[in-house]
Amino acid sequence: MTNKTTFYTLENGLTVHLKEIHTAPIISTWIWYKVGSRNEIPGKTGVSHWVEHMQFKGTDNYPAGSLDREISRVGGVWNAMTYLDWTTYFESLPAYVSDISLSLEVDRMVNSRFTPEEVELERTVIISEREGNENQPLFLLGEAVQDAAFNSHPYKHEVIGVKEDLEKITRDDLYQHYRQYYHPGNAVLAIAGDFATEAKLDKIDALFGDLPKREGLEAAIPFEPPINEEKRVSVSGPGQTGYIQIAYHAPSAENLDFFDLTVLDSLLTGPSSLNMFGSGGTTNKTSRLYRALVEGEIAVSCFGALQATRDPYLYAIHLTVHPAHSPEEVLKAVDDEIQKVLDSPVRKEEIDRAIKQAKALFAYSSENISNQAFWLGYTEMFGSYDWFENYVDHLARVTPDDVLRIAQTYLKPENRVVGFYLPEEGGH
């Protein structure tokens, strides 16, 4: 990672991160906004995701569909995603046409059209997406666990929003949300690829520099008090397979405990990927829960999920129940394995292997140009780019004592929600 990296802030507050990578004639451009479901209130859940959809409905300069055709014609890709703390848009294009990305993003930062007709069409699309999710056992289970895990914090709600809210959100609600959060001072422009930094900065300044500076208007986020007893939820639905999600309250990404928990996650279930857009991976077949539960034919599968978030979120262990066992037997088997971590010191060799696997997954998620651009902006959503650059060093410092302490602190029953998905009799 020796490529030249430049950090710059325009007078209007736009944060710019640039990394020259001359291995291929490709430029990947990402623009990140610090707005996601974290910034929503009851009655308007799902508004951030809906605004993201509206950003593809075109402007006067770029009518809907025109950029799809242009980007496809040159072999590029573009997409977007909304999550808990952020919304991001990206384009990966041949270098010779990459200025399309800048022209597009500056335009839709301020000129997106929210016509009543398009709003209603998209309402149908998003409600259909929501209803499709409701046919998925893991969505239903995850939503129930998330709702039970938080009382006040907006992390309580799925990013797509509550159906009742999606039926009532108005065009003015969407446009107000857009105007509140889509401005230079709330955005990070991250670009990696085959360009000259000074020329790229000049282009960015020419396009974005005249946009007006605006003060942030982020609403206060409700404080979430710690829970002090285990919660359990059950969801039933179609299918023939049972699932369990065990969600422990976990630290935010900037808390140093996050790195210790990353190693514990790798030890128990195999490492979690922090890059939702990345490729590649590592096996979890050496992890403790895989060996004990999957090889022991108590569960069909298991994996962990630890996410880098701005506020404390959840560390979840997901399991597919083996037909020969009950959900309670699977849960007991997990608890037995966690108890072993608490009762017997974890050998340094095992910690070293867990660290090595977590580092390998991190490397896989950082290796190509698009992933480099991803990390340039993503870390600003919960911290700074230093977090990315110091990630491996933080993992390397984790000791067996750190793993024991983190297990004692976070992996206790009174800090968790346990969710069961129970298939309905005769379900298909």
pLDDT in tens, 176-222: 999 999 999 999 999 999 999 999 999 999 999 999 998 766 778 98
Average pLDDT score over residue span 324-347: 96
Please list the helix, strand and coil fractions of the chain in percent, rounded to the nearest 5, in that order: 45, 20, 35
Q: Higher pLDDT residue, 270 or 282? A: 270
Full set of structural domains in the chain with CATH: 5-208 (3.30.830.10), 231-423 (3.30.830.10)
Q: Which residue has the higher pLDDT, 373 or 367?
A: 373
Sheet of 299-306: strands edge to edge?
231-237, 416-423, 243-249, 314-321, 299-306
Task: Please tell me the distance from the alpha carbon of residue 117 to that of residue 192, in angstroms, as a whole number.
Answer: 37
The identity of residue 11, as a single letter, is E
Residue type for 211, please? L
Whole-number pLDDT of residue 113: 92
- What count of other Cβ atoms lies within 10 Å of the Cβ of residue 360? 15
Checking if the pLDDT of 399 tops 60, the result is yes
Sign of CA dihedral 192, 198, 204, 205: positive
**DSSP per-residue codes, 258-295:** HHHHHHHHHHHH-PPPS-TT-------TTSHHIIIIIT
The confidence score (pLDDT) of residue 223 equals: 87
Q: How far apart are CA 410 and CA 406, in angstroms?
A: 6
Q: Residue 311 — pLDDT band, cuts 50, 70, 90? A: very high
Instruction: In whole angstroms, give the CA distance from residue 380 to residue 103.
Output: 23
Q: Which of 178, 134, 182 is nearest to 158 (CA)?
A: 134
